[in-house]
Amino acid sequence: MEQPEGFQVKGKEDYVCRLKKSLYGFKQAPRQWYKKFEFVMGEQGYMKTTLDPCVFVK
Amino acid sequence: MVHSDVCSPLKENSFSGAAYFVTFIDDHSRKLWAYSLKTKNEVLEKFKQFQVMVERQTRKKLKCIRSDNGGEYHGPFDEYCEQQGIKHEKTPPKIPQLNGLAKRMNTTIIERVRCMLNEAKLPKRFWGEALITVVHVINLSPAVALDDNVPDNVWFGKNISYDHLRVFGCKAFVHVPNDERFKLDMKTKQCIFIGYGQDKHGYKLYDPVNKKLMRSRDVIFLEFYQTIEDIEKMEKDESKQSGDLVNRDPVQLDNEHAEDHPDAPIDDVGNDSHEILVDSSIPLKRSTRERQPSTRYPSDEYVTLTDEGKPGCFEKAMDSQQKEKLVNVMQDEMQSLHDNQTFDLVKLPKGKRALQNMWIYRLKHEGNSSSLRYKARLVVKGFRQKKGIDYDEIFSPVVKMSSIRTILSLTASLDLEIENMDVKTAFLYGDLE
């Protein structure tokens, strides 16, 4: 991604941002959020229900 | 196959002097045509007109017409059908049920015309215009016989548009063309909407002041609560008002007149003062207009727009008076991106392109207090992303409504408590692959 307007690092104007985390506006942003949420819930011992992947049960 | 019937005298002549109307209904598409008549003898003439029009438009031949055994369908009408090779099915005397389609349609038409005239508070002699409008609307309405398809769809074989429909009898402002008015004349004329122009070009309108029918395409409609009665009432109020003014202060008007038109002859002070008065009533007319909030933006955004506004992009933000505050909130956002380790700086690899991003600014009302808080957020221009390069799958499951209902009802029946929470900037937690 290009460097944010107004916050270019001096001397590195031609550098770009290699993204590790999601940002608003990405097409895949909602999906990446869901993956994260799913992972964290799994860590906490919650199980997805088969009928609704958005309901987690412990 | 066409069904036809003539409607009995309406007692009140339309503008063109007609007192009857004849309807033709296409059996296949259920499309309806209506012609107003001065006398019943005109049925044959109108039928010929109808036949030529239909046959030319569809390149098909009219084969059969069904009518009741009325006198207007005897004699010359019969002869003509015979010559043309059109089968003429006549119901036996005293059994109008066999011509039910046409009869039922006439009842429908009359009922609608009556309702529309009543609702628009128009005199009965407008029935001709109402009739045309009713026919137009019926042809655009789903028909049970067509399994809820629309006659015009079937007839024209393509989807029809409803964008041009307006409330019959509503108040309308018609644009007066440049060449028909002088500099200080009103640019619009108040009229009543009374129908659609033939072939959907423009609208038909009635000018209650000059008692004239006119056609125009440049019209603004006020579709709610405005009828001919309101306009006539307003005209009266206006003339009363202008009368008062003229009597009170003719001298001043004279002065104004002299200033505005040094060349104009002094004789038509009367006319001119009238014009000025009409102009002075513009705010009055504007105030009667029904204002509706935009449905396009949620009301909170609407508020921010009118509230001195938020800057639309980075450059505007840097130009605006709130620059300092905005720089602050942008620094906050940058800080949180750094804390979150959202990205690190690298050289752009060869053959790759960098995605663009932009700043979004928001003005937020703080709780109940009236103080405003600025917010800045860095967003990616996702529409520049290419599938397969920048992303693969974007589907994210969303909770089912039935799950929410199940949980709510469980909570209620077991007398439990619900806790809810909001994850702030949830999307920022996602990892990119």
- The pLDDT tens digits of the residues spanning B286-341 come to 556 677 766 666 555 544 444 455 677 787 777 777 788 888 888 888 888 888 88
A12 contacts B431? CB cut-off 8 A: no
B428 touching chain A per CB within 8 A: yes
Give the mutation candidate from A18, A35, A38 for the B interface (greatest B CB count, under 10 A). Answer: A18
Q: Tell me the C-alpha distance between B298 and B314, whole Å.
A: 23
In the predicted model, what is the mean pLDDT of chain A? Answer: 88
Q: Tell me the C-alpha distance between B3 and B430, whole Å.
A: 67
pTM as predicted = 0.46
**Strand locations in B197-314 (E):** 203-207, 212-216, 219-222
Q: Tell me the C-alpha distance between A15 and A8, whole Å.
A: 9
B429 contacts A21? CB cut-off 8 A: yes
**pLDDT at residue B293, as a whole number:** 67
Q: Tell me the C-alpha distance between B133 and B126, whole Å.
A: 11
Cβ contacts of B348 on chain A, cutoff 8 Å: 14-16
**pLDDT at residue A42, as a whole number:** 92
- What are the pLDDT digits (tens) for B171-184? 888 888 877 777 77
Cβ contacts of A22 on chain B, cutoff 8 Å: 427-432
Question: Of A1, A18, A28, which has the smallest distance from its Cβ to B394's Cβ?
Answer: A28
Q: What is the DSSP letter of B59?
A: S
Cβ contacts of A15 on chain B, cutoff 8 Å: 345-348
Question: Of A5, A17, A20, which has the smallest distance from its Cβ to B431's Cβ?
Answer: A20
- Give the confidence band of B391 by pLDDT, cuts at 50, 70, 90: confident
Q: Residues B333, B379: contact at Cβ < 8 Å? A: no
**pLDDT at residue B419, as a whole number:** 92
Per the DSSP assignment, residues forming a β-bridge with B87 are B64
Nearest in space to B49 (alpha carbons), one of B64, B29, B33: B33
Per the DSSP assignment, residues forming a β-bridge with B205 are B193, B214
B398 contacts A29? CB cut-off 8 A: no
A5 contacts B354? CB cut-off 8 A: no
- What are the pLDDT digits (tens) for B135-157? 888 888 888 888 888 888 888 88
B375 touching chain A per CB within 8 A: no
Interface of B with A in 385-404 (CB under 8 A): 385, 390-400, 402-403
Question: Within 10 Å of residue B246's Cβ, how many Cβ atoms?
Answer: 15
Query: What is the H or E stretch that residue B189 is in?
Result: strand B188-196
